[in-house]
Structure formats: structure tokens, C-alpha cells
Amino acid sequence: MQVVVLRDRLPRVDADAEADRDIGVGELGLDAALINLSKLCAKEWAEDGIRVTSIAPGLIRTELAARLIEDVESTGQHINIQRRIGEPEEIAGLALLLASPAGTFATGANFIFDGGEVISGAGDVPPA
């Protein structure tokens, strides 16, 4: 059995419910918690034949992220070193791999699919 934890960039409504915004710094704690939960569950459930991995996508073109994508595209800013927004099929392909016989040796791992957003530093992503 394979359990995949999928962390997504969720827009959040502010206290006045005026606008969606990216979670930002608060998201870092959630990311770390989900990654560590995946590793802990992988250790605990390995003897029962249950594998646990997590997928940490960057900005993916989904309905949930539509406003954020609109903001990014309207400003022409680049959010990762590939200078593009990810597509749902790119994440689905990884999930299918992990759920298939080809992924049976993967457990306790966090797969970052973000177009290089995490590794980019100052100056890596040129302005529009």
C-alpha cells in the first residue's frame, strides 16, 4: 500500500474575507510538519507493508490557484528558474509512478516538483 501526502500552495482568505493571498511564511511550518509526518508514518508503518511519501509541488495550474496564477501572469514575474507554472499532469505523473510497481522502493521521501523554486536564490530568476 502507498500513501502519498500532497502539500499544495493554498490561497487563504484574510480576516475581512477581502482577497485571497499566498500563505507565505506560515506555510514553511506546515511544509516541515507534513514532511516529518510522512517520514514518521513511513517508519511506523513499514512493517505493515505501507509506504508513505510526500509530494511538494510549486505553483501548479489548478482552479484553487487561479487567482495567484493570474497575479503572477499579469505582472510577468517569474517564480522559478524554469520561468513557468507547472501543469497538473506533471504532478499526476509522479503520483502514478509512486503508486505503481515502479515506485515500490520509495518510502519516507519528499518529492519537490516546483520548477526549481526552492533552489533559486537572489538573481537566479530574472525579472520580467
Task: Give the start-to-end residue ranges of the domains of the chain.
Answer: 2-113
CB 56 within 8 A of CB 94: no
Q: What average pLDDT score do residues 61-76 get?
A: 90
Question: Which band of pLDDT confidence, cut at 50, 70 and 90, is reported for residue 16?
Answer: very low
Q: Would you state the cell numbers that stand for residue 116, as one nine-digit string?
A: 526549481
Q: Give the C-alpha separation, 5 to 66, whole Å.
A: 22
More confident site: 10 or 98: 98
Output the furthest CA–CA distance in the chain (Å, rounded). Answer: 50
Indicate the class that CATH gives domain 2-113: alpha beta
| pLDDT of 28 strictly over 80 | no
Does an H or E element contain 6, and which?
A: strand 2-6
pTM for the full predicted model: 0.72
Per-residue pLDDT at 21 exceeds 60: no
Round the average pLDDT of the chain to a whole number and report it.
80
pLDDT at 14 over 60: no
How far is it, in rounded angstroms, from Cα 61 to Cα 76? Answer: 16
| Residue 90 in grid coordinates | 506533471
